[in-house]
């Protein structure tokens, strides 16, 4: 009795499968224990110090070799630009912009710098189906244009509206976004160009864990000056760029409704059902089939018996 799939082979195969499954699981648990890169760098932006000089915009433009802007960087009329009812945002020609916010009841406006926040668990990265994004140990979220398909899911997923697309190119389009000056500076331990250019020390470069302490210290030491919140400490699971503000964050253009957990967690519900469907459906529906066609099968069987008689 030598069948191609003997009982012994079946058990062997089953055991091998179980072992493989446990091994694979062990690998996964490494990911579960990962607490983020301890050496990850970040920037603390203090809105109370920013005077809206746009030096950071100019430095970024030069460092990243972006096209020259329509209006020069010392033209402050850009703060009044409104498109679709919105203030200026990042696009394929600028990785960072500063916007002015007039606060009712305050004699001076506040300025807020926008760029990639370099999340600890980036939504762009986790939503990318070709792994075009990488979170480096230094803290930067960088992008590989060589594998990008141009589906723009990262732009959908980014809660801060940061990645932009080079729509104007038919043959060489790509995502354009701030990369923390990774290739030219961060890799060598240097701060990004915008931080270096800031004359007001509104931007503080340092290890993320240190920056949180500095932020807490400033809040503690000057009571009443700051909102008691560091934006980015917990937002979407934490970001490398964080903010201090003297007014509620939604008054200066921050989205205060973003979840306090990584965006990835929100799709885990669905990802969790995938193995279940893959394993249970075949048996379930094959079973339904057998039940549904049982009558026909029985009928066929009795007819056969009659024929034999």
Partner 1 sequence: MRIFSEKRPDLPIVDHIKADGTLWTLKEKLWLGLSRPDYFKQFIRNPVNWLMIGILAVGLPLLLQRYIFGLSAVTHASNDYPWGLFLGFGLFGMVPLSASGFMLGTSVELFGRKDLHPIERLALLNGLLGYFFAVVYLEIDLGMPWRLPYPMFVSLGPAAVLFLVAWHVATYLSVQIAEVLPAYFEWIGWLKGKRVIRRMVLGLTIAGIILSTLHQGALGALFAYAPAKIHPLWISVNFQWIHFFCSSIFAGLSMVIVSSTLIRNFAGWRCDETFKKSLDDITLKLGKGCSLAMITYLVIKLVAVAHDQEWEYLLTGWGAYFMLELAVGVVLPMFMFAAAIRNNAPALARAAAFISVVGIIWNRLNTSMIAFNWQLYQEIPHWKEVWITLTLYALYFITYRFIVYRLPIVYEWKGEK
130 phi/psi in degrees, rounded to 5:
-120, 15
Least distance from C-beta 88 to partner 1, angstroms? 12
Are 54 and 48 in contact by the 8 Å Cβ rule? The answer is: no
Out of 9, 13, 225, 281, point to the residue binding partner 1 (CB under 8 A).
281
Near partner 1 in 112-131, by CB under 8 A: 123, 126-131
* β pairing state of 41-46 and 203-207: antiparallel
Query: Can you say whether the dihedral through the CA atoms of 262, 263, 264, 269 is positive or negative?
Result: positive
CB under 8 Å to 255, separation ≥6 — which residues?
159, 160
Query: Can you say whether the dihedral through the CA atoms of 160, 113, 64, 73 is positive or negative?
Result: positive
84 vs 108 by CB, closer to partner 1:
84
Binding residues for partner 1, total number by CB under 8 A: 59
Least distance from C-beta 80 to partner 1, angstroms? 18
101 vs 226 by CB, closer to partner 1:
101
Maximum alpha-carbon separation in the chain: 105
15 vs 156 by CB, closer to partner 1:
156
141 vs 211 by CB, closer to partner 1:
141
15 vs 147 by CB, closer to partner 1:
147
Near partner 1 in 138-167, by CB under 8 A: 147-153, 155-157, 159, 161, 164-167
Give residue 106's Cα distance to chain centre. 35
Out of 259, 299, 301, 304, point to the residue binding partner 1 (CB under 8 A).
259
298 lies in the site for partner 1, by CB under 8 A: no
Contact letters (x/-) for partner 1, 63-102, by CB under 8 A? ---------------------xxx--xxx-----------
Q: Tell me the three state secondary structure of residue 258.
A: coil
42 phi/psi in degrees, rounded to 5:
-160, -175
Least distance from C-beta 3 to partner 1, angstroms? 21
Angle at 106 between CA 94 and CA 234, to 5 degrees: 55
H helix runs in the chain, sequence order: 7-33, 55-63, 123-127, 153-157, 193-197, 208-221, 264-292, 294-308
170-198 burial, b for 16+ CB within 10 Å, e for fewer? eeebbbbbbbbbbeebbeeeebbbbbbbb
Interface segment toward partner 1; rule CB under 8 A; list 190-198, 208-216, 262-270, 301-309: 262-270
Least distance from C-beta 22 to partner 1, angstroms? 20
Interface segment toward partner 1; rule CB under 8 A; list 63-71, 95-103, 186-194, 267-275: 267-275
The one-character DSSP state at 36 is: -
Out of 168, 189, 199, 224, point to the residue binding partner 1 (CB under 8 A).
168
Residues facing 256 on adjacent strands? none
286 lies in the site for partner 1, by CB under 8 A: yes
In angstroms, the CA 141 to CA 232 distance is: 15
For residue 42, give the nearest of 184, 140, 182, 176 by alpha carbon: 140
58 lies in the site for partner 1, by CB under 8 A: no
Residues forming contacts to partner 1 in the complex (CB under 8 A) are: 84-86, 89-91, 123, 126-132, 147-153, 155-157, 159, 161, 164-170, 173-174, 255, 257-259, 263-264, 266-267, 269-271, 273-274, 277-278, 281-282, 285-286, 288-289, 292-293, 296
């Amino acid at each position: 009795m030598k069948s191609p799939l003997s009982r012994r082979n079946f058990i062997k195969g089953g055991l091998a499968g179980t072992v493989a499954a446990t091994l694979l699981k062990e690998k996964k648990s490494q990911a579960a224990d990962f607490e983020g890169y301890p050496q990850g760098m970040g920037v603390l932006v203090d809105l109370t110090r920013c005077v809206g000089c746009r030096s950071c915009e100019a430095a970024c433009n030069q460092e990243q070799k972006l096209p020259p802007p329509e209006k020069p960087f010392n033209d402050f009329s850009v703060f009044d630009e409104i498109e679709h009812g919105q203030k200026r945002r990042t696009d394929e020609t600028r990785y960072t912009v500063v916007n002015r916010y007039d606060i009712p009841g305050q004699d001076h406006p506040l300025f807020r710098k926008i760029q990639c926040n370099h999340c600890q668990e980036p939504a762009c990265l986790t939503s990318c189906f070709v792994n075009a994004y990488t979170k480096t140990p230094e803290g930067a979220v960088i992008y590989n244009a060589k594998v990008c398909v141009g589906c723009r899911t990262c732009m959908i997923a980014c809660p801060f509206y940061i990645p932009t697309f080079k729509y104007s190119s038919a043959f060489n389009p790509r995502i354009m976004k701030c990369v923390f000056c990774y290739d030219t500076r961060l890799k060598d331990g240097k701060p990004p160009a915008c931080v270096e250019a800031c004359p007001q020390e509104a931007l503080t470069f340092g290890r993320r864990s240190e920056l949180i302490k500095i932020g807490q210290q400033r809040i503690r030491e000057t009571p009443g000056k700051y909102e008691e919140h560091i934006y980015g400490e917990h937002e979407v699971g934490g970001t490398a760029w964080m903010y201090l503000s003297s007014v509620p964050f939604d008054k200066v253009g921050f989205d205060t409704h973003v979840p306090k957990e990584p965006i990835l967690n929100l799709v885990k519900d669905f990802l969790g059902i995938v193995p279940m469907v893959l394993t249970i459906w075949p048996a379930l529906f094959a079973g339904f089939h057998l039940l549904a066609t049982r009558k026909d099968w029985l009928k066929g069987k009795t007819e056969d018996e009659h024929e034999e008689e």
